[in-house]
Structure 1
Amino acid sequence: MTVRPEPDGVRVLVCAGEFDLDTTGKLAAACDRDAADARLLVLDVTGVTFADSSFLNVLIRLNNSRTLVLAGPLPHQLERLLEMTGALALFSVRDGQTPTACPRQKTAAPSGRVGGALEDDQQPLRPKRER
């Protein structure tokens, strides 16, 4: 995991590899240590190859304690975990955008998803995939 400071108080934490009970503590510690003062925390999850419920727990805790955006596209296994648990709707997910193009604050979207106020150059949240 690496943490990159970006302009305007944005911190980007790049996650790669497997996240389970043995490794999610490092993610939580990195967020608490290196991104505690972030106005916006962006987790780049494109490199996550495996995630279990302990990773989901950390994501939910982070989402409840600060402004959080998951930068995607979401890996298939992570997206499946979020869908199966009903947690996907809790997160703001941005595909292929730079961290500074992420929302500035959380607002309740009409669909009930937590999202952010969009700037003119931003795309709306990626809708859930239909089966």
Structure 2
Amino acid sequence: RIDAETRRILLLELQVRPGIAALQSEQLVAKAFKTKVNMLRSLGSRVVMTVLEEVLPAAAREAFRKATSSSGAAGAGRGVRPAASTAAPEPMPVAPEEHALAARPPPAAAPPNAPQPAAAPHAE
């Protein structure tokens, strides 16, 4: 659900003009809200918590932590990305013909004033 303040901010960001139909403006607001929610989900809870610690006062931050921790086991682990591996990734296998193409020097460029080859006539 979108609260009134979030809706107002989204309308300002979208700069919806008064001439736009009400249904269309509501669709634009809903789409923008879903985009922002999905962006926050993709960042993961660690990043969101870091931002909240910088932006929100301590009381609001604690309320958010209680709300997210009270979601129970069903929501446990959601939004948290696994830790990245520090090992170097394995190189991708390359076909032998790709090695031959990579070793071939690039074609020499024609001088700018060289005549261009004639185009083949079109058969109709």
Asked if Structure 1 and Structure 2 have the same fold, meaning a TM-score greater than 0.5 normalized by the shorter chain, the answer is no
Q: Specify the structure having the higher radius of gyration (Cα).
A: 2
Question: TM-score of the superposition, structure 2-length normalised?
Answer: 0.26
Question: TM-score of the superposition, structure 1-length normalised?
Answer: 0.26
- Identify, as 1 or 2, the structure richer in strand: 1
- Identify, as 1 or 2, the structure richer in helix: 2
